[in-house]
Amino acid sequence: MEIARGVLTFLGKKQVYGLAVILLVGIVLYALGKKLIQKILNSGKNAYEMKKRRTIVKLISNIFKYVMYIVLILAILNLYGVDTNALIASLGIVGAVLGLALQDTIKDFISGITIIMDNFFVVGDIVTFNGFTGEIIELGLKTTKIKKVNGEVLVLSNRNIDQVVNISQELANIFIDIPTAYEEKTTKVEKTIEKILTEIKKIPGVKKEPTYLGISELSDSSVKYTISFYCSQEKQWQIKRDALKIIKTLYDKDKIKIPYTQIEVHHEQGI
């Protein structure tokens, strides 16, 4: 009985049940905030609008999370008798000092806001930075993450925005050189290429009529026939793989040889 009474007395203290209430309210507000943000995300009108909204949502979510942390910490400190007014005033002074020490971080934050407001790039866009080309997978208050097609991820400080080239608004122009054996008749090859272009046109993401550009090179072991087509930037690598598969399939079907490097060994007699 005494143990139960002691537990009830402990739970009845303001510092205990107050802490539970503050944490519960914080969890509920955070869940409601996430739900509201998700509704905003789902209201895009087109693909680009959806990408833009997704980026804004990520930024707002980060701000909302930090604000929630600060409010909850101040509420808990106030519950335990800490003078939060004096603490806030002290934080203002500390903030001024930190502002001088963390100038680069502040630049990153301001640049992050600028990226969103000026539509410089959004999550899902394809960008290039110092030769590194990939998709924007995350835009935070301080950094932007760019993922290359091979899985490499570059974490870029937002203050480097002036060095980033957004290529997502333009279509990718894909060129494919098809190596073909010299003994194959050009007329036969070009008929097969017409079939290839027809099939490539059917690939989702190809935006314009594929084009046959002619013979681009007479190399040591093959004649190179070149084709070209336009597609969306974010799908270009998969589309190119699909196009190469079509080329190989139709070349095999029409019995057109794709040469490969071979080594011939001659054995001298009578040595």
pLDDT at 263 over 50: yes
Enumerate the domain spans of the chain: 2-101, 117-166, 172-253
Beta-carbon contacts of 15 under 8 Å, excluding residues fewer than 6 positions away, are 79, 80
pLDDT at 224: 94
Query: Tens digits of per-residue pLDDT, 108-163?
Result: 677 766 666 666 777 778 888 888 888 888 777 678 888 887 888 888 888 887 78
Q: How far apart are CA 39 and CA 43, in angstroms?
A: 7
- The residue ranking higher by pLDDT, 164 or 59, is 164
Mean pLDDT of 66-83: 74
For the domain bounded by 117-166, which CATH number is listed? 2.30.30.60
Q: How far apart are CA 207 and CA 239, in angstroms?
A: 11
Mean pLDDT of 158-172: 79
Mean pLDDT of 228-247: 89
E strands, the chain, in order: 126-129, 132-139, 143-147, 153-157, 164-166, 172-180, 211-218, 223-231
Q: Which fold has domain 2-101?
A: Helix Hairpins (1.10.287)
pLDDT at 57 over 70: no
Q: Please return the burial class of 235, using the count of CB atoms within 10 Å of its CB with bins 0-12, 13-18 and 19+.
A: middle
pLDDT at 252: 94
Query: Tens digits of per-residue pLDDT, 150-162?
Result: 888 888 888 887 7
Between the two ends of the chain, the Cα-to-Cα distance in Å is 108
Which CATH code of 3.40.50.150, 1.10.10.10, 3.30.70.100, 3.40.140.10 fits the domain covering 172-253?
3.30.70.100
Query: Tens digits of per-residue pLDDT, 178-216?
Result: 999 999 999 999 999 999 999 999 999 898 889 999 999
Contact 239, 174 (CB under 8 A): yes
pTM of this prediction?
Answer: 0.50
Q: Which residues pair with 211 in a beta bridge?
A: 228
pLDDT at 8: 46
Query: Tens digits of per-residue pLDDT, 41-51?
Result: 555 555 555 65
Nearest by Cα to 122 from 137, 109, 104: 137
Q: How far apart are CA 227 and CA 222, in angstroms?
A: 16
Summary mean pLDDT of the chain: 77
Q: Tell me the CA distances in angstroms from 233 to 29, 127, 147, 207, 238, one per residue in order.
A: 39, 10, 14, 11, 10
